[in-house]
Amino acid sequence: MAYPDDLLSSGEHVVIHKHPHWKMLLLPVFWLLVVVAAATFLAGLVNEQSWATIAWIALAVVAVVLALWLTITPLLRWRTTHFIVTSERVMYREGVFNRTGLDIPLSRINSVRFQHSLLDRVLGCGTLIIESASDEPLEFDDIPQVEKVHTLLYREVNDNPDDDYRPRTLDERA
């Protein structure tokens, strides 16, 4: 899915667009299973009681609220988080109701590196670290295929024609 073209400047195109890795959804799915299992177990316990209907309604309300809070909210947060590399900048957007964004022009990027643990390597994700003109490096966690993103971003930074530090080619030297 491409990022909306109306947010890009003229001549700018999306090189890569990623959401955080699906491993972020493991805990919400676990909590959904726990909520459903606990609600089902408790509904079975109160089945023989005279006040079972009221208990079932209360259990259903509590289960729906917990499912929304522990499962749907993280799913929406995952879906609305974007890591985008364009031909001119790196963009990071996150948030459902309160959106935050970060743009880093490619010409301001000093270095790009990545790191991932053994589990991240098995799952195919990691942390991308971008050092720019800002004081501290920016870390983007749970980037899928982090090595590929690192390589593409490095290539975009070094192939940028506006970069003052780009080495001249043999044709330009002559």
Q: What is the mean pLDDT of residues 37-59?
A: 90
Burial class (CB in 10 A: 0-12, 13-18, 19+), 35: buried
What's residue 158's pLDDT? 82
- Selection from 2-6, 12-16, 117-121 with the highest mean pLDDT: 117-121
What's residue 1's pLDDT? 46
What one-character-per-residue DSSP string does 23-65 give? Answer: GGGHHHHHHHHHHHHHHHHHHHHTTTSTTHHHHHHHHHHHHHH
What's residue 160's pLDDT? 56
pLDDT tens column, 77-127: 999 999 999 989 999 999 888 989 999 999 888 889 999 999 999 999 999
What's residue 173's pLDDT? 47
> In Å, how far are 19, 79, 81, 98 from 76, measured between CA atoms?
11, 5, 9, 12
The residues spanned by each domain of the chain are 25-77, 84-161
Domain 84-161, CATH: 2.30.29.30
Phi-psi map region of 133: left, alpha, beta (phi>0 left; psi -120 to 50 alpha): alpha
Q: Is pLDDT of 4 > 90?
A: no
- Residue the block writes with tokens 């079975």: 44
Indicate if the alpha-carbon torsion angle 140, 142, 146, 149 is positive or negative: negative
Residue 97 has φ and ψ, to the nearest 5°, of -95, -45
The answer to whether 33 and 47 are in contact (CB under 8 A) is: no
